[in-house]
Amino acid sequence: MPNRLLALALVGIAGGLPQLARGQNKFEKPATVMHVVAVRWKADATADQKRKAIAGIEEMAARIPGIRRVWLKPLRVQPQEINGQPFNQGFNPDDPYQGRAHCYFIEFESRQAEQTYAKHPAREKWFQENYDTIREISISSQATN
């Protein structure tokens, strides 16, 4: 009996070897909606104003239904320029509040949740009081599967 179990285990392992040899990666295509924003702050925006604007995203996530996850610390901000003007001037991932550019991502459970967020009073208040006052330009995209 132990020899049969060993043989079955070896067959199972050997059956998986071709997949490992091909290097196939497992990945998902979730049906959630990703909202991706790159923003260039106004030249006179302070680090404290930028921190407050980005912290507001986390506060909204706690209040607006359908937000699953947020990413608030950028590692890289693109594009480098728009119409010949620098976009990510002074960006430093170790201190993202000192430069002129930032980015953030919000994941929604559905398209309906993204639409709810777009019209939600908490988002409107954040946008008018903490974000738009220091935003020079922003680029946003949404994607799903």
Domain boundaries, the chain: 33-143
Prediction pTM value: 0.80
What digits encode the pLDDT tens for the residues 38-86?
Answer: 999 999 999 999 999 999 999 999 999 999 999 999 999 988 888 888 8
Distance in angstroms (rounded) separating the CA atoms of residues 21 and 29: 23
Residue 16 has pLDDT above 50, yes or no: yes
Per-residue model confidence (pLDDT) at position 29:
93
Question: Class of the 33-143 domain?
Answer: alpha beta
Distance in angstroms (rounded) separating the CA atoms of residues 60 and 50: 16
Residue 118 has pLDDT above 50, yes or no: yes
Q: How many CA atoms lie within 13 A of 82 on its CB side?
A: 14
